[in-house]
């Protein structure tokens, strides 16, 4: 891999907003096996940006996803919507048993409960919780809390997505896709109905 994850995310080498992250952004998570899906939401003035980082620690394949929406009316609604989007994307890409990682402790504590829909939470969250329960089924979600320092990547992606004017930009740098003429699964991802179903507009997808 000739470029770091961060270098490939930005064409502007002078972009000082880009977070400084280790070449292996999951080096602190070696104790967590399997596929990982980091996610975050950035909410301000009823605009939400979503950032996802999907990583396979065995073959080091990675996918970065950015989207935006004007539907959600609070930061917690936006965080729940980010988790729902992450669920739908992992399901579409057939990512087996992903571990979802968030730096929002309130969200992770809520979703780790086996009966999260009946918890004493704000009424505005109930429609999203009901959709999650319908899609994901009974039982606690496979989600863990991580410190913000480890989740800087998706924090950056979500903030950039919220203010971005781009739309449906695909950048595939996965050698197995380009050299073998295989169909990049993220191309189908951009065309999938899941975006409309989640009231989200895709902004940028990067496949490594």
How does pLDDT run across 96-114, given as a tens digit for each residue? Answer: 889 999 999 999 988 887 6
Contact 77, 128 (CB under 8 A): yes
Contact 92, 65 (CB under 8 A): no
Among 108, 106, 91, residue whose Cα is nearest residue 54: 91
168: helix, strand or coil: coil
Give the whole-angstrom CA distance, residue 100 versus residue 32. 11
Question: Is pLDDT of 23 > 70?
Answer: no
Give the whole-angstrom CA distance, residue 170 versus residue 206. 6
pLDDT tens-digit map of 121-159: 777 787 888 877 777 666 556 889 999 998 999 999 999
Question: Is pLDDT of 182 > 80?
Answer: no
């Amino acid at each position: 891999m000739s470029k770091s994850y961060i270098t490939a995310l930005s064409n502007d080498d002078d972009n000082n907003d880009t977070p400084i992250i280790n070449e292996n952004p999951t080096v602190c998570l070696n104790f967590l096996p399997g596929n990982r899906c980091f996610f975050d939401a950035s909410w301000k003035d009823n605009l939400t940006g979503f950032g996802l980082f999907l990583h396979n620690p065995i073959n080091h394949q990675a996918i970065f996803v950015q989207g935006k929406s004007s539907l959600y009316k609070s930061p917690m609604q936006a965080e729940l919507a980010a988790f729902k989007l992450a669920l739908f994307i992992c399901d579409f890409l057939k990512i087996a048993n992903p571990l979802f990682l968030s730096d929002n402790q309130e969200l992770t504590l809520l979703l780790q409960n086996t009966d999260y829909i009946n918890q004493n939470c704000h009424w505005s969250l109930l429609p999203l919780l009901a959709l999650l329960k319908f899609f994901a089924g009974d039982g606690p979600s496979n989600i863990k809390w991580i410190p913000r320092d480890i989740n800087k990547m998706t924090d950056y992606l979500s903030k950039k997505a919220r203010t971005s004017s781009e739309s449906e930009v695909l950048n595939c740098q996965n050698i197995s896709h380009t050299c073998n003429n295989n169909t990049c699964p993220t191309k189908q991802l951009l065309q999938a109905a899941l975006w409309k179903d989640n009231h989200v507009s895709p902004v940028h997808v990067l496949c490594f």
